[in-house]
Amino acid sequence: MKNNIYNIIFSLLISVLIVVNADADFTKLIDNGDSNTKIDLTFIGSGFTSAEICDYISKVDQNISKMNTVNWFAIPSNATLLNVWRVDAISPTSGIDLAEAEINSQAQVTPYDVLIIIHNYNDQEGVRYPNIVDLYIYSHNYVVIAHELGHIIGKLDDEYYNSHVAWKCDGLSKRTINVHDKPSNEKWSDYISTQPYEGARFCEFGLWRPTENSIMRDSANTPAFNALGLKAMDIGAGKILGTIETNQPNLEIIGLNNNDIKSGVLEVAAIATDDSGIERIEFYWAKAGDTSKSIKIDKTEPYAVSIDTTRFVDGEYFLDTLAYDTNWNYTRVTRRFEVNNLHARVSQANPPKLIKVYPNPAKAKVLFQFAGEQSSEIEISIFNIAGELVSKITSDFVSEQPIIEWNVSGLVKSIYMYKIYYNKQVGESGKIMVSH
């Protein structure tokens, strides 16, 4: 079996060892060695009667034989990292799942790291729990398996989108490998040199993914990991198997302590060390109650960030600093502080004002563009022609981020009125035509 392991792993002519257990029949389909040094995948059926068990066995064989069409699994050295098991669980009624406790009990006859359940009916593909993948009899199983192993092994996030609520998606990229909240490849430039594409992690707007397509975005039509995903799978597999260390780097923050009161320009430095080396430092900034937004990713010592606090509304803030080593272990340090520029703030000679609303008429989204030098809390209230409030957007205006988006794809074709408030004071108003 060891003489030609690559063909053995991904062939329908697999030599199998059948072992009968009192609780369930189980078969070790692919044996690459001791489970303590391998990643064990176990298939188990649910909703298959004894008369249908051959359908389930055929489905498992099809998935195994096609896994080598996905690029990471097609690499022979990666294929040898896996043991694959099949548990033949019998259900009394066709298409009716076994109880969860029964599935768990029967699956435990194998030493699985990942449990793959094939259900004998059709439903949403690839629902993922910490180490459980749910598949359905008519789904594109093998690419769904690879996609879900991208989550479980590679710790990758989804790169598709469907929420259509752009402003709610701001700042959700912290501690994710393949999602960024800026239209920049600075987070993964060591692996992918092209500019990113907007839309990721269920969000159509406000988050960016590394490449146009990958198995983490469109697994049915793109059965391949991009370069960043391949690296993530290598690192994740190494950590599971113990061949890559998991020690967190050391991180110290200079220039900001918890509960400090700050004004003017805030200078913060990060001192990070690790035996494997430091790959990058990520700085995130958030007003209390808001999601964090990336303000700098630094790959060169000295690691530091400079923040002009006069451009923000006074109040409670958090600075999150994350240090990543070359094995993508990270340490996070959070500092809570207050911004108070009541006496330091410069003249309000140039407060923000609305300068443009476009496109109008709009089909998908409307952009409100502002200009000004001073910070302000902006609230945009949207009303229908009956005067009913249909949407409210609140954002802290700073001159570096002068555009606020409003997604209108879910609204009916009509005329809508907007009213803008600056620090609770009434500002501009106008009309927008939504025309799908």
Q: Assess whether the region 2-152 and the region 250-339 belong to the same CATH fold.
A: no
Domain 250-339 falls under CATH 3.40.50.720 = no
Helix (H, G, I), strand (E, B) or coil at 105: helix
- Would you tell me the crossing angle of helices 141-152 and 227-241 to the nearest 10 degrees? 70
Per-residue pLDDT of the chain (436 residues; tens, 9 = 90+): 333 333 333 333 333 333 333 346 999 999 999 999 999 999 999 999 999 999 999 999 999 999 989 999 999 999 999 999 999 999 999 999 999 999 999 999 999 999 999 999 887 666 667 899 988 876 568 988 999 999 999 999 999 886 444 445 655 666 789 999 889 999 999 999 999 999 888 888 888 999 999 999 987 788 899 999 999 999 999 999 999 999 999 999 999 999 999 999 999 999 999 999 999 999 999 999 888 889 999 999 999 999 999 888 899 999 999 999 999 999 999 999 999 987 555 444 467 889 999 999 999 899 999 887 677 788 999 999 888 999 998 887 665 568 888 999 889 999 999 999 888 888 899 999 998 7
Under 8 Å between Cβ of 400 and 422: no
353-434 adopts what CATH topology?
Answer: Immunoglobulin-like (2.60.40)
Spatial neighbors of 79 by CB under 8 A, at least 6 apart, are 5, 6, 9, 10, 68, 73
Task: Locate the domains of the chain by residue range.
Answer: 2-152, 166-241, 250-339, 353-434
pLDDT, tens digit (0-9, with 9 covering 90-100), for 196-240: 999 888 888 888 999 999 999 987 788 899 999 999 999 999 999
Backbone angles phi, psi at 314, to 5 degrees: -60, 145
Under 8 Å between Cβ of 201 and 179: yes
Residue 195 in tokens: 């500019």
Query: Looking at residue 166, what is its pLDDT?
Result: 44
HSE (CB half, 13 Å, CA atoms) of 384?
9
Q: Quote the pTM value.
A: 0.75
Domain covering 2-152 in this structure, CATH number: 3.40.390.10
Residue 402 in tokens: 């002068």
User: Could you count the other beta carbons within 10 Å of the beta carbon of residue 154?
Assistant: 23
Distance CA 241, CA 225 (A): 21
Distance CA 357, CA 347 (A): 27
Nearest Cα neighbor of 26 from 9, 11, 42 is: 42
What is the 3-state composition of the chain as percent helix, strand, coil, each rounded to the nearest 5?
A: 20, 40, 45
User: Could you count the other beta carbons within 10 Å of the beta carbon of residue 404?
Assistant: 20
- Would you tell me the crossing angle of helices 141-152 and 53-66 to the nearest 10 degrees? 70
Q: How far lies 88's CA from each of 43, 52, 116, in Å?
A: 8, 11, 12
Spatial neighbors of 84 by CB under 8 A, at least 6 apart, are 9, 28, 29, 30, 40, 41, 42, 43, 64
Angle at 69 between CA 65 and CA 74, to 5 degrees: 95
